[in-house]
Amino acid sequence: MKLFRISCFIFGLGMFMLGGCQTTETIVETTTKKSKSPFAVMFDTSKVFSSNLTGFALYDPQEDTLIYGHNEGRYFTPASNTKLFTFYAGLKLLPDSIRALEYVVRGDSLIFWGTGDPSFLHPEFGNGSVYQFLKNREEQLYYSDSNFKSKRFGPGWAWDDSNYYYQTEKSPLPMYGNTATFTIEEVKRRQVVTTDSGLAVSPPIFRSYINKEVKKIPNDPILFRGFTNNEFEYKPQADTKRYTIDKPYHYTPELITDMLTDTLGKSVTYLRDITKPDSAQVIYSIKSDTAYKRMLLPSDNFIAEQLLLVAAAELGNPLNSDSTIEKMSNEYFDVLPDKPQWVDGSGLSRYNMFTPRSIIHLLWLIDDEFTEDKNLFHLFPAGGESGTIKDWYLPAEGDKPYVFAKTGTLSNNHSLSGYLITESGRKLIFSFMNNHYVTSTSVVKEEMEKILRFIHSRL
C-alpha cells in the first residue's frame, strides 16, 4: 500500500463540503462559493494553536488518504512520542520474551553479564526467574559489565533531572527499576528497614547511604542525591506527613555486586575485564508485551531506555542505544516521509525531532504488525480509561474509549499520537504535536480535545 497518496477526502457535512488534503489549508470549490474545510477553520480561529507551533495529521488507512494536515511536514520536539519508535524497534528486533542474562560456567564459577533487562526485582513485574536462577546456582557468582558501552544519560538530557524517578540512569543490570524507595513511617515491613528518623528504605542496603547531618539550602528537596555518588541528604525536620518517593541511584558495578550479595544472601564478585564469549548461554524473563505495556501506558522512561539496550544485546552488539537506533534508522525508517532525528529511547532529549506525517506513517507500520486476534489497543493509553489519558478524551457515558494514543510532554511541549475510532466505526490515525507554548498544558489539551471530538462524531 502506498501511504500518503495525495488526494482530497470530500463528503457532505451539514452546510459544509468537508475537504481534507495534504496542504495545510484546503479550499473546496462549490457551485456558488469557496468554503474552507472545517478543520482549517478550527485551526485558523484557535487562539491556543495560533499562539504556539502546532502540527497535525489525520490519516485514513483504509482509504490510504491523508484527510487533513496542518504543518504536518514540520519538525517538532516529540517528548515521549519517541517511545513509539522504541516500541516499533522492539516489535522488529525482540523475540516474545526479554533477554535477561548471558552467562558461562567455568569450573566452579558462573560468570554473567546483564543485557539491560528492566524487570529484575522490579516491583511492577513480580517475575522471580532471574533471581531464582542466581539464588539456586551452586557455583561462585561473578558479575561483569564489560559488554556495557553506554553513557549513563542520553544525549541532551537535563543534568538537574537526575534526582527524579523519571530520569534513571541506563545500566547493564537494572535492579529495583534503578531506584531506591524512601518512605516516612514508623514500622518495619518486609524488605523495608526504618532509620531512627522514621525514614524507611528499600532496598535496605541504601540505609547506610543516608546522611542527616548535611546543611541544606532552604529550597533544596527533602531528599537529595549527589550527582556522581549515592549519598542521600535528608532533612527529617521537614517531614510532616507520611509519603513515599523513588530516587534514582547512581550505577557502579561495586554497588550492583553489593546489592546482589545482599539480596541473594551469597557472595557475588565483580570482574572488570573479561570478554563475553559468543557461546554464552541465555536466559529470558518477562514477556516483551508486558514491557511494552509498562512503557506506553504510564510512559515509563526507564523501560524505554533499557529496551534499546536489550535490543542491542539481541543483535549481538555491546549494550549501546546508538547501535539499535542506527539499525532501525537504516533498515526500517528509510520509508518515513521525513528523516527522523532520533537520539534516545524515552524522549527525555530535546534533540529528538519528528514530523507529524512521519509519526502517522510509523503508527501505520505498528498497526500492520498486529492481526485481529492480537489486540494493539490494550498496549496504548485509552481515553477516559487508562494510562496517561485516563482523565482526558472521555467517551460518552456508556460508550467505549475512542482515543488510543501515546502522550509526550516536556515543559512547553505536548504531543498526542495514536488511533481514533469514529462513531461510524472508522479507524483513523492521527498525530498532534504542540511546541513552544507558555500556557498550561491543560489549555492545550482542551483545544486538542475539541478537534478529536469533532472527528469522532462527524467522520
Q: Is 414 exposed, middle or buried (0-12, 13-18, 19+ CB in 10 A)?
A: buried
Q: Which residue has the higher pLDDT, 263 or 213?
A: 263
Q: Which of 179-183, 234-238, 343-347 has the lowest mean pLDDT?
A: 234-238
Residues in the chain: 459
> Considering only CA atoms, which of 75, 102, 117 is closest in space to residue 359?
75
State the average pLDDT for the chain: 87
pLDDT digits (tens, 9 = 90+) for 73-102: 999 999 999 999 999 999 999 999 999 999
Q: What is the pLDDT of residues 239-255, one digit of tens each?
A: 456 678 899 999 999 99
Helix ranges (DSSP H) in 160-232: none
Domain ranges of the chain: 9-78+354-458, 95-286
Residues contacting residue 334 through CB under 8 Å, at least 6 positions apart: none
Residue 243 pLDDT:
74
pLDDT at 22: 39
As a whole number of Å, the end-to-end CA separation of the chain is: 22
Nearest alpha carbon to residue 171 among 284, 310, 37: 310
This prediction has a pTM of 0.87
| 347, pLDDT greater than 70 | yes
Lowest mean pLDDT among 18-27, 122-131, 173-182, 289-298: 18-27
d(CA 286, CA 88) in angstroms, rounded, equals 18
What's the pLDDT score for residue 218?
A: 55
CB 82 within 8 A of CB 296: no
Contact partners, residue 136, CB within 8 Å, separation at least 6: none
Confidence (pLDDT) at 233: 83
* Other CB atoms within 10 A of residue 381 CB: 25
Distance CA 390, CA 174 (A): 29
Q: Are strands 53-60 and 65-70 parallel, antiparallel or unpaired?
A: antiparallel
**What pLDDT is stored for residue 372 in this prediction?**
67
pLDDT band at 14 (very low <50, low <70, confident <90, very high): very low
Long-range Cβ contacts of 222-230 (<8 Å, 24+ apart): 223/182, 223/247, 224/163, 225/162, 225/163, 225/249, 225/250, 226/250, 227/159, 227/162, 230/206, 230/255
